[in-house]
Amino acid sequence: MTIPRPISSPLDAESRPSAPGALPSDAEALDAYSQVVTHVAEQLAPSVANLRVSRRTRRGPAAGGGSGVVITPDGFLLTSAHVIDSRPSGRPNVHASFTDGSEVEVRVVGSDPLSDLAVLRADSARLQPAELGDAAELRVGQLVVAIGNPHGFAGSVTAGVVSALGRSLPTRSGGAARMIDDVIQTDAALNPGNSGGALVDGRGRVVGINTAVAGIGLGLAVPVNATTRQIVSALMRDGRVRRAWIGVAGGARPLPPRTSAMLGRDRAVEVVEVIGESPASRAGLRAEDLIVGVDGAPVRGIDDLQRLLTAERIDTACDLEVVRDGELRHVQLTPRELPAG
Protein backbone atom coordinates (compact mmCIF):
# COMPACT_ATOMS: atom_id res chain seq x y z
CA MET A 1 0.00 0.00 0.00
CA THR A 2 1.33 3.34 -1.03
CA ILE A 3 1.11 6.11 1.52
CA PRO A 4 0.01 9.30 -0.22
CA ARG A 5 2.41 12.26 0.00
CA PRO A 6 1.06 15.12 2.08
CA ILE A 7 -0.21 18.14 0.20
CA SER A 8 2.50 20.81 0.34
CA SER A 9 1.73 23.86 2.46
CA PRO A 10 1.93 27.36 1.01
CA LEU A 11 4.28 28.10 3.88
CA ASP A 12 7.86 27.18 3.07
CA ALA A 13 10.31 25.98 5.66
CA GLU A 14 11.47 29.52 6.51
CA SER A 15 7.96 30.85 7.05
CA ARG A 16 6.49 27.97 9.12
CA PRO A 17 5.89 28.81 12.76
CA SER A 18 8.87 28.06 14.95
CA ALA A 19 8.76 25.27 17.48
CA PRO A 20 7.91 26.30 21.03
CA GLY A 21 10.95 27.84 22.73
CA ALA A 22 12.85 28.25 19.44
CA LEU A 23 13.97 31.57 17.96
CA PRO A 24 11.44 33.09 15.53
CA SER A 25 12.00 32.62 11.82
CA ASP A 26 12.95 35.57 9.62
CA ALA A 27 9.39 35.74 8.30
CA GLU A 28 7.94 35.86 11.81
CA ALA A 29 10.39 38.55 12.87
CA LEU A 30 9.55 40.63 9.82
CA ASP A 31 6.22 41.90 11.10
CA ALA A 32 3.85 44.20 9.22
CA TYR A 33 5.59 47.37 10.45
CA SER A 34 8.98 46.13 9.33
CA GLN A 35 7.60 44.93 6.01
CA VAL A 36 6.26 48.40 5.22
CA VAL A 37 9.52 50.12 6.17
CA THR A 38 11.57 47.56 4.22
CA HIS A 39 9.41 47.91 1.12
CA VAL A 40 9.47 51.70 1.23
CA ALA A 41 13.24 51.77 1.74
CA GLU A 42 13.84 49.45 -1.21
CA GLN A 43 11.45 51.46 -3.38
CA LEU A 44 12.74 54.95 -2.53
CA ALA A 45 16.45 54.51 -1.85
CA PRO A 46 17.42 54.69 -5.58
CA SER A 47 15.55 58.04 -5.86
CA VAL A 48 17.27 59.78 -2.95
CA ALA A 49 20.62 61.40 -3.66
CA ASN A 50 23.51 62.36 -1.42
CA LEU A 51 24.34 65.97 -2.33
CA ARG A 52 27.84 67.36 -1.98
CA VAL A 53 27.91 71.12 -2.22
CA SER A 54 31.03 73.23 -2.68
CA ARG A 55 31.36 76.98 -3.08
CA ARG A 56 33.93 79.72 -2.95
CA THR A 57 33.71 82.23 -0.13
CA ARG A 58 35.78 85.20 0.92
CA ARG A 59 37.58 82.90 3.33
CA GLY A 60 38.28 80.28 0.68
CA PRO A 61 36.54 77.07 -0.45
CA ALA A 62 33.65 75.79 1.69
CA ALA A 63 31.84 72.48 1.54
CA GLY A 64 28.50 71.21 2.76
CA GLY A 65 25.92 68.63 1.94
CA GLY A 66 22.50 67.21 2.33
CA SER A 67 20.01 65.10 0.44
CA GLY A 68 17.82 65.45 -2.64
CA VAL A 69 14.90 63.56 -4.19
CA VAL A 70 14.52 62.77 -7.90
CA ILE A 71 11.02 63.86 -8.97
CA THR A 72 11.03 63.46 -12.77
CA PRO A 73 12.54 60.89 -15.15
CA ASP A 74 14.44 63.64 -17.01
CA GLY A 75 16.55 64.63 -14.03
CA PHE A 76 14.77 67.20 -11.84
CA LEU A 77 15.55 66.89 -8.13
CA LEU A 78 13.92 68.54 -5.13
CA THR A 79 15.87 69.57 -2.03
CA SER A 80 15.92 72.16 0.75
CA ALA A 81 16.90 75.70 -0.23
CA HIS A 82 19.29 75.99 2.72
CA VAL A 83 21.23 72.93 1.50
CA ILE A 84 22.38 74.74 -1.67
CA ASP A 85 22.18 78.35 -0.41
CA SER A 86 25.04 80.18 -2.10
CA ARG A 87 24.77 83.75 -0.92
CA PRO A 88 26.80 85.86 -1.27
CA SER A 89 29.20 83.90 -3.45
CA GLY A 90 27.10 82.85 -6.44
CA ARG A 91 25.71 79.48 -7.38
CA PRO A 92 27.47 76.46 -5.85
CA ASN A 93 28.85 73.33 -7.47
CA VAL A 94 26.65 70.36 -6.61
CA HIS A 95 27.29 66.65 -7.15
CA ALA A 96 24.67 63.97 -6.53
CA SER A 97 25.54 60.35 -5.76
CA PHE A 98 23.15 57.41 -5.53
CA THR A 99 22.99 54.06 -3.77
CA ASP A 100 24.03 52.20 -6.95
CA GLY A 101 27.36 54.05 -6.90
CA SER A 102 26.57 56.41 -9.77
CA GLU A 103 27.42 60.10 -9.50
CA VAL A 104 26.22 63.05 -11.58
CA GLU A 105 26.83 66.77 -11.57
CA VAL A 106 23.66 68.82 -11.05
CA ARG A 107 22.92 72.50 -11.49
CA VAL A 108 20.64 74.75 -9.49
CA VAL A 109 17.49 75.56 -11.47
CA GLY A 110 15.84 77.70 -8.80
CA SER A 111 15.72 78.28 -5.07
CA ASP A 112 13.03 79.73 -2.82
CA PRO A 113 14.29 80.39 0.73
CA LEU A 114 10.81 81.51 1.85
CA SER A 115 9.51 77.95 1.36
CA ASP A 116 12.93 76.30 1.94
CA LEU A 117 12.62 74.47 -1.37
CA ALA A 118 15.01 74.29 -4.30
CA VAL A 119 14.99 72.50 -7.65
CA LEU A 120 18.10 70.97 -9.23
CA ARG A 121 18.64 69.41 -12.66
CA ALA A 122 20.89 66.54 -13.66
CA ASP A 123 21.77 65.88 -17.29
CA SER A 124 20.86 62.22 -17.03
CA ALA A 125 17.92 60.16 -18.23
CA ARG A 126 18.83 57.18 -16.04
CA LEU A 127 17.47 58.51 -12.77
CA GLN A 128 14.56 56.82 -11.00
CA PRO A 129 11.90 59.31 -9.88
CA ALA A 130 9.94 59.04 -6.66
CA GLU A 131 6.17 59.37 -6.61
CA LEU A 132 4.87 62.55 -4.99
CA GLY A 133 1.96 62.21 -2.57
CA ASP A 134 -0.26 64.73 -0.78
CA ALA A 135 0.45 65.74 2.81
CA ALA A 136 -3.16 66.89 3.13
CA GLU A 137 -4.11 63.21 3.47
CA LEU A 138 -1.80 62.59 6.45
CA ARG A 139 -3.16 61.83 9.92
CA VAL A 140 -1.50 62.17 13.29
CA GLY A 141 -0.07 58.79 14.31
CA GLN A 142 0.43 57.63 10.71
CA LEU A 143 3.64 55.75 9.87
CA VAL A 144 6.23 57.77 7.95
CA VAL A 145 9.75 56.92 6.80
CA ALA A 146 12.61 59.40 6.44
CA ILE A 147 15.26 58.61 3.82
CA GLY A 148 18.38 60.71 3.49
CA ASN A 149 22.10 60.94 4.12
CA PRO A 150 22.73 61.94 7.73
CA HIS A 151 26.40 62.61 8.41
CA GLY A 152 27.09 61.52 4.81
CA PHE A 153 25.84 57.95 5.25
CA ALA A 154 23.94 57.45 2.00
CA GLY A 155 20.56 55.75 1.93
CA SER A 156 19.95 55.90 5.69
CA VAL A 157 16.41 55.02 6.76
CA THR A 158 14.55 55.96 9.94
CA ALA A 159 10.89 55.38 10.71
CA GLY A 160 8.37 56.95 13.06
CA VAL A 161 4.96 58.51 13.12
CA VAL A 162 3.44 61.87 12.30
CA SER A 163 3.58 63.61 15.69
CA ALA A 164 1.62 66.71 14.70
CA LEU A 165 0.26 68.54 11.67
CA GLY A 166 -0.31 72.21 10.94
CA ARG A 167 2.91 73.47 12.47
CA SER A 168 4.46 76.70 11.16
CA LEU A 169 8.13 77.30 10.40
CA PRO A 170 9.50 80.88 10.10
CA THR A 171 11.78 81.61 7.14
CA ARG A 172 13.62 84.71 6.00
CA SER A 173 15.22 85.91 2.78
CA GLY A 174 16.94 89.26 2.98
CA GLY A 175 14.41 91.66 4.46
CA ALA A 176 11.42 89.42 3.71
CA ALA A 177 9.98 87.01 6.25
CA ARG A 178 7.34 84.32 5.82
CA MET A 179 5.80 81.39 7.65
CA ILE A 180 5.80 77.98 5.97
CA ASP A 181 2.34 76.59 6.70
CA ASP A 182 1.16 73.04 7.46
CA VAL A 183 4.64 71.81 8.37
CA ILE A 184 4.78 68.11 9.31
CA GLN A 185 6.22 67.18 12.71
CA THR A 186 7.57 63.65 13.04
CA ASP A 187 9.52 61.61 15.56
CA ALA A 188 11.49 59.81 12.82
CA ALA A 189 15.13 60.48 13.70
CA LEU A 190 16.65 63.32 11.66
CA ASN A 191 20.29 64.40 11.76
CA PRO A 192 22.53 66.81 9.85
CA GLY A 193 22.51 65.70 6.22
CA ASN A 194 18.86 64.61 6.27
CA SER A 195 17.79 68.06 5.03
CA GLY A 196 16.40 67.82 1.52
CA GLY A 197 15.66 64.11 1.89
CA ALA A 198 12.30 62.41 1.53
CA LEU A 199 9.61 61.93 4.14
CA VAL A 200 7.52 59.07 2.77
CA ASP A 201 4.17 57.53 3.67
CA GLY A 202 3.51 53.80 3.99
CA ARG A 203 2.75 53.51 0.26
CA GLY A 204 6.11 54.93 -0.76
CA ARG A 205 4.86 58.39 -1.76
CA VAL A 206 6.89 61.49 -0.87
CA VAL A 207 4.72 63.64 1.42
CA GLY A 208 7.41 65.98 2.72
CA ILE A 209 10.95 67.29 2.34
CA ASN A 210 12.88 67.05 5.59
CA THR A 211 14.04 70.51 6.59
CA ALA A 212 14.94 70.84 10.26
CA VAL A 213 15.66 69.10 13.52
CA ALA A 214 13.45 70.78 16.13
CA GLY A 215 14.89 68.92 19.13
CA ILE A 216 15.46 65.45 20.49
CA GLY A 217 12.87 63.19 18.86
CA LEU A 218 11.36 66.03 16.81
CA GLY A 219 11.84 66.61 13.09
CA LEU A 220 10.08 68.96 10.69
CA ALA A 221 9.32 68.55 6.99
CA VAL A 222 7.96 70.95 4.39
CA PRO A 223 4.75 69.32 3.15
CA VAL A 224 4.19 68.22 -0.42
CA ASN A 225 0.71 69.62 -1.12
CA ALA A 226 -1.12 71.84 -3.60
CA THR A 227 0.73 74.97 -2.44
CA THR A 228 4.23 73.50 -2.60
CA ARG A 229 3.50 71.81 -5.94
CA GLN A 230 2.83 75.30 -7.34
CA ILE A 231 6.12 76.51 -5.87
CA VAL A 232 8.01 73.58 -7.40
CA SER A 233 6.35 74.16 -10.78
CA ALA A 234 7.32 77.85 -10.67
CA LEU A 235 10.93 76.97 -9.82
CA MET A 236 11.09 74.44 -12.65
CA ARG A 237 9.55 76.88 -15.12
CA ASP A 238 10.96 80.28 -14.08
CA GLY A 239 13.71 79.53 -11.59
CA ARG A 240 11.99 81.68 -8.96
CA VAL A 241 8.70 82.22 -7.15
CA ARG A 242 6.90 85.52 -7.51
CA ARG A 243 4.80 86.76 -4.59
CA ALA A 244 2.66 89.84 -4.10
CA TRP A 245 3.64 92.26 -1.31
CA ILE A 246 1.58 94.91 0.45
CA GLY A 247 4.08 95.99 3.11
CA VAL A 248 2.64 95.12 6.52
CA ALA A 249 3.88 93.15 9.50
CA GLY A 250 1.24 91.59 11.67
CA GLY A 251 -0.10 88.60 13.50
CA ALA A 252 -3.31 86.69 14.11
CA ARG A 253 -5.59 87.86 16.92
CA PRO A 254 -9.16 87.12 18.04
CA LEU A 255 -11.89 89.44 16.84
CA PRO A 256 -14.02 91.33 19.38
CA PRO A 257 -17.35 89.52 19.99
CA ARG A 258 -19.45 92.15 18.19
CA THR A 259 -17.19 92.13 15.11
CA SER A 260 -16.97 88.33 15.17
CA ALA A 261 -20.78 88.06 15.15
CA MET A 262 -21.02 90.59 12.31
CA LEU A 263 -18.50 88.80 10.07
CA GLY A 264 -19.16 85.19 11.07
CA ARG A 265 -15.51 84.47 11.88
CA ASP A 266 -13.44 84.67 15.03
CA ARG A 267 -9.92 85.74 13.97
CA ALA A 268 -8.15 88.27 11.78
CA VAL A 269 -4.67 89.66 11.08
CA GLU A 270 -3.79 92.67 13.19
CA VAL A 271 -1.45 95.14 11.50
CA VAL A 272 1.52 95.72 13.80
CA GLU A 273 3.66 97.78 11.43
CA VAL A 274 3.18 99.45 8.06
CA ILE A 275 6.33 99.72 5.93
CA GLY A 276 7.00 103.20 4.60
CA GLU A 277 6.42 103.81 0.90
CA SER A 278 4.66 100.43 0.60
CA PRO A 279 1.30 99.78 -1.07
CA ALA A 280 -0.29 99.55 2.40
CA SER A 281 1.22 102.87 3.45
CA ARG A 282 -0.01 104.67 0.34
CA ALA A 283 -3.48 103.12 0.80
CA GLY A 284 -3.70 104.48 4.35
CA LEU A 285 -3.48 101.28 6.40
CA ARG A 286 -2.58 101.87 10.04
CA ALA A 287 -1.21 99.89 12.96
CA GLU A 288 -4.00 98.12 14.88
CA ASP A 289 -6.16 97.77 11.76
CA LEU A 290 -7.63 94.28 11.47
CA ILE A 291 -7.43 92.69 7.99
CA VAL A 292 -10.41 90.35 7.68
CA GLY A 293 -10.59 89.73 3.93
CA VAL A 294 -8.99 90.14 0.50
CA ASP A 295 -11.35 90.48 -2.47
CA GLY A 296 -14.07 88.75 -0.46
CA ALA A 297 -11.91 85.81 0.67
CA PRO A 298 -11.72 85.54 4.49
CA VAL A 299 -8.45 86.20 6.30
CA ARG A 300 -8.14 84.53 9.72
CA GLY A 301 -4.36 84.44 10.02
CA ILE A 302 -1.03 85.20 8.37
CA ASP A 303 -1.18 81.94 6.41
CA ASP A 304 -4.46 83.02 4.76
CA LEU A 305 -2.96 86.39 3.83
CA GLN A 306 0.15 84.76 2.37
CA ARG A 307 -1.89 82.28 0.33
CA LEU A 308 -4.00 85.07 -1.12
CA LEU A 309 -1.05 87.28 -2.10
CA THR A 310 -0.14 85.22 -5.15
CA ALA A 311 1.74 86.29 -8.26
CA GLU A 312 -1.56 86.96 -10.04
CA ARG A 313 -2.22 89.91 -7.69
CA ILE A 314 1.04 91.72 -8.50
CA ASP A 315 0.24 95.16 -9.97
CA THR A 316 -3.48 94.36 -9.84
CA ALA A 317 -5.78 96.42 -7.63
CA CYS A 318 -7.47 94.48 -4.85
CA ASP A 319 -9.93 95.21 -2.05
CA LEU A 320 -8.84 94.72 1.56
CA GLU A 321 -11.61 94.37 4.12
CA VAL A 322 -10.39 96.09 7.26
CA VAL A 323 -11.94 96.60 10.68
CA ARG A 324 -10.97 99.94 12.26
CA ASP A 325 -12.52 101.26 15.46
CA GLY A 326 -15.14 98.52 15.26
CA GLU A 327 -16.28 99.48 11.75
CA LEU A 328 -15.79 97.49 8.55
CA ARG A 329 -13.97 99.49 5.87
CA HIS A 330 -12.81 98.72 2.33
CA VAL A 331 -9.27 99.75 1.38
CA GLN A 332 -8.14 99.67 -2.24
CA LEU A 333 -4.46 98.96 -2.89
CA THR A 334 -2.22 97.48 -5.57
CA PRO A 335 0.35 94.92 -4.37
CA ARG A 336 3.90 95.00 -5.70
CA GLU A 337 6.23 92.08 -6.30
CA LEU A 338 8.07 90.96 -3.19
CA PRO A 339 11.74 91.87 -3.77
CA ALA A 340 14.20 89.01 -4.03
CA GLY A 341 16.18 88.41 -0.85
Query: Active-site residue numbers?
Result: 82, 116, 195
Alpha helices in 205-322 (DSSP H): 226-238, 257-263, 279-283, 302-308
Each residue of 261-285: b (16+ CB within 10 Å) or e? eebeeebbbbbeebeeebbbbebeb
First-to-last C-alpha distance (Å) of the chain: 90
Cβ-proximal residues to 29 (8 Å cutoff; 6+ apart), any chain? none
Q: Which amino acid type is present at position 113?
A: P
Cβ-proximal residues to 34 (8 Å cutoff; 6+ apart), any chain? none
Q: What are the Cα distances from residue 137, in Å, to 10, 118, 184, 226, 238? A: 36, 23, 12, 12, 29
Q: How many Cα atoms sit within 13 Å of 187 on the Cβ side? A: 9
Tell which residue, 65, 23, 37, 70, has the closest CA to residue 198: 70
Asked if 208 and 224 count as a contact pair (C-beta separation under 8 A), the reply is yes
The rounded distance, in Å, linking the Cα atoms of 220 and 209 is: 9
Residues in the chain: 341
Burial class of residue 158 in the structure, from the number of CB atoms within 10 Å of its CB (0-12 exposed, 13-18 middle, 19+ buried): buried
